Structure 1
């Protein structure tokens, strides 16, 4: 009996230790997750501050070069000093060798860019005309700007990746802690109430944090719309003015393209937030012709890729009942992806097929490197993309195909992809002519 009591006492102590340890680990994981998020968020804010200072300095330097007004140069020394301090802070917070190398590259490129701008400013003061200034900006300064932007974008993705890794580690630790907690609760009725309370409280904090993040995305997306619309309208109006010089047209065109890219990314964020918070997209069904929608989108997207060929083939009757704007969004994304990732010099073929009495289909095919087979099963998941070129990475959030999938699912349809080196890549979109709920949709 003595040995039994000793064994039960030891077992009880073990249960208490396991329960206490698991509860501690779970609480520590949640607190550590918040701390890590705060640290990396502060890093990203500092990085955004540096980018903002850099862009403001470059904008004022460009304004002086184009107008000759020296009022744009009044605070240039102070701005350069601020950039130096910001860069020093970022370097002091670097956690990995990769970050330090990227920051060293930023410092080197920034110094070269600053020197070129200072030389160009001096030449402008000495009487260099505006047209010549514009040419030097395009040929000498802009490549450094592009390189600096690419390095800063890579640095930002590195920090975001570090944040994701820390969150994944915290999630694994939380999962193990939960298992230990469940064992402890099962072994000790006395401790179960307290442990369950701690578990529910920690789980609630995680859910609230996730919901808060989605709400922030939604709020930011709404707040970006008004200034973005003003940029688009002003730039488009400026481009319509007669007698613009070539460098001015190029500059305004670059602004317009960048603003439209921001508009696309903002819409993706808004749609992602909606799908996460409301479990689906809201649709406004109306009678429409899918052939006409495909033709309009092919014309709009093709106009942005003047060096590529986009052909459309229409078969059968394209009449159906669907949300036209959402379908335009999905088709534009798929066509743009096909042009972006296809082999230069090859054409992209779009087939809008209405030969089935109950189902409409769109096939979008491009020639080029196949999608990684490991990526294919996950390609419609959010924040997923392959390994595109540097300039593609800078523009991609990895949510375009996810939104396409959500749009098609909301219509009760499905989207599939086939990709091989021999046959190229084909995305196939299928949706019913008559609306059905996603639960009633046929499975692949």
Structure 2
């Protein structure tokens, strides 16, 4: 039996596997034998125990399709622990995968060398072995990937937070220079460029921090206070018109737009949507309509630029995956990371609402946010 072979030869298999790891994986060179070997041994023994467990035809079918995640908790636990250790020991994902492949190959080679006939029971056992190793591989990859995503998010969060201090110093220094008398026209324009660029950088940092927070599974924090969304929209559009004096941006308000909102967040959402419309609007007018509903308020941002392709709609609100085929050059202040629409939707969701888009050649593109009062 394959399980008996694994138990009998486990030390030799792990010896062979350790030689492979030390010769092929740089991160393994300085590890102690215990750090390198323990999980390989535990994983093999867990697989052997799984092979000895009675498994019905239905269970085998579900397991082969990955539909029986709790069929072998010992394999899952060992795979998670192994992935955690390899992550802490600075292995790459490819290096961790190569370990499991090497273990699988070593066992199969020994099995082939010690079998001169392959009856149905032996083949079935071999299939079960492959399924058990696949389960270990899948669990390790999923756990390792989650750890990588979490560490990346924390790194971005710390980086974004720490950038705020020197960025604030740059802006304060530029404001001081702006109030200095005697600047000529060229110097005044240079100071204005510093102020404008620092504002753009601050916006990017804020988006980065918001993305980091939501990517770690948290909802954007909001602080609701009595506000009028008509006034909020007017203030945001006034700022954008000052930044884009050549663009035609109009606002229409319908009905009672009062309610409990986080005005700053709603303003951020609208700024992202209108900036996106300016970027992709082919210099055509941008219209904003705020309309009162029974229990909510809708804010629609419309432009007549090139429509969004149907295949791009599915990823339009995904972070770091904004469609590249929407047309237009990147607007001033854009990070180019595709976070604006993602954060806009997160703000709508945090208000108990939604953000949707419709786009066609005939009617143009309209983003509509619905926010509960």
SS in 2 for 1:371: coil
Match of 1:352 among 286, 290, 311: 290
SS in 2 for 1:349: strand
Question: Please, what TM-score do these two structures have when normalized by structure 2?
Answer: 0.63
CA distance in 2, matches of 1:336, 1:292: 18
CA distance in 2, matches of 1:221, 1:319: 34
Corresponding residue number in structure 1 for 2:183: 244
Identify unmatched segments of 5+ residues in structure 1.
1-8, 36-179, 434-444
Shift of 1:205: 6.0
| Alignment size in residue pairs | 271
Corresponding residue number in structure 2 for 1:267: 206
Change (3 A) 1:419 1:14: farther
SS in 1 for 2:183: coil
SS in 1 for 2:230: helix
Corresponding residue number in structure 1 for 2:169: 230
Corresponding residue number in structure 2 for 1:279: 218
Q: Deviations over 1:220-260 (max 9, x none)?
A: 11111111112122223323444532322332222222211
Question: Please, what TM-score do these two structures have when normalized by structure 1?
Answer: 0.54
Q: Deviations over 1:156-204 (max 9, x none)?
A: xxxxxxxxxxxxxxxxxxxxxxxx9998774246x98467413433157
Corresponding residue number in structure 1 for 2:122: none
Shift of 1:218: 1.5
Match of 2:150 among 211, 218, 224: 211
Comparing both structures, which one devotes a greater share of its residues to helix? Answer: 1
CA distance in 2, matches of 1:420, 1:15: 64
Match of 1:341 among 280, 299, 316: 280
Change (3 A) 1:323 1:34: farther
CA distance in 2, matches of 1:33, 1:267: 39
Corresponding residue number in structure 2 for 1:302: 241
Match of 2:322 among 363, 385, 391: 385
CA distance in 2, matches of 1:406, 1:33: 41
Identify unmatched segments of 5+ residues in structure 2.
28-43, 54-71, 89-146
Shift of 1:307: 0.9
CA distance in 2, matches of 1:192, 1:309: 62
In terms of mean alpha carbon deviation, does 402-411 or 226-235 score higher? 226-235
SS in 2 for 1:369: coil
Shift of 1:357: 2.2
Corresponding residue number in structure 2 for 1:373: 310
Shift of 1:33: 11
CA distance in 2, matches of 1:33, 1:418: 50
CA distance in 2, matches of 1:16, 1:342: 70
Shift of 1:265: 1.0
CA distance in 1, matches of 2:275, 2:370: 19
1:201 aligns with 2:82: yes
